[in-house]
Amino acid sequence: MRMPALLLAMLTTACAGPPASVHGFAGASEVPPTGEVKLSGGGEFSTSDTSAIAYDRKLVPQGAQASVTVESSGNKTRTALVVEGLLPNHHYGVHLHTKPCGAKPDDSGPHYQHRRGEISPSSEVWLDVTTNGDGGGRSTARNDWALDPLNPPGSLVLHSQPTKTSGPEVGTAGVRVACLTLKKVP
């Protein structure tokens, strides 16, 4: 896998239908395990390599790529996304999901949630990104909670539409168009 210099430079300086029942702790008052968690994923989107897989070549053209880093410790989680070569001037919904990417879009499971059943940017990691005229973009999210080091998210999924932030469809963002599998970083 080869990353363009711009994407590499940006990283060194610096997610169909409603979400299903999700990752979380048994109760909102339960304290998660503590510890530092570092995750990353990235590459050029292919149609066969599940580390970076494209499900819709219209919205994720040949040559498109992305990279994500997630760092969590104490009561903070910071997530950063960089994309290149996507559809220009398009708003993608982006979320962390519970399972790794697979051959089918739904293989990545539901949205990763800090508090089970709470669909909001304070319980989930939402990284919606709007691409520029060249199909590039950046997004970051900050959450005031730590990832469970025993059960961290498995992927970052790009959706076809922006995330709905209110109403009965809150948290939805259209069909899944691409996925990055997250790996633990030592």
Give a yes or no: residue 91 inside a domain: yes
Residue 163 DSSP code = P
Residue 7 has pLDDT above 50, yes or no: no
Residue 102 has pLDDT above 50, yes or no: yes
Give a yes or no: residue 2 inside a domain: no
Give a yes or no: residue 97 inside a domain: yes
In this predicted model, what pLDDT tens digit does every residue of 12-40 receive, in sequence order? 333 333 333 334 433 333 444 567 999 99
Mean pLDDT in residue range 92-96: 98
**pTM (two decimals):** 0.82
Give a yes or no: residue 78 inside a domain: yes
pLDDT at residue 186, rounded to an integer? 87
Q: What is the CATH number of the domain that holds 53?
A: 2.60.40.200
**Beta carbons of 40 and 182 less than 8 angstroms apart:** yes
**Residue 5 phi, psi dihedral angles, 5° rounding:** -60, -40
The number of beta carbons lying within 10 Å of the beta carbon of residue 155 is 28
pLDDT at residue 33, rounded to an integer? 55
In this predicted model, what pLDDT tens digit does every residue of 37-68 receive, in sequence order? 999 999 999 999 999 999 999 999 999 999 99
pLDDT at residue 22, rounded to an integer? 37
Distance separating alpha carbons of residues 55 and 48, to the nearest angstrom = 10
Q: How many CA atoms lie within 13 A of 137 on its CB side?
A: 20
> Structurally, how many domains does the chain consist of?
1
Range of the domain at 164: 34-184
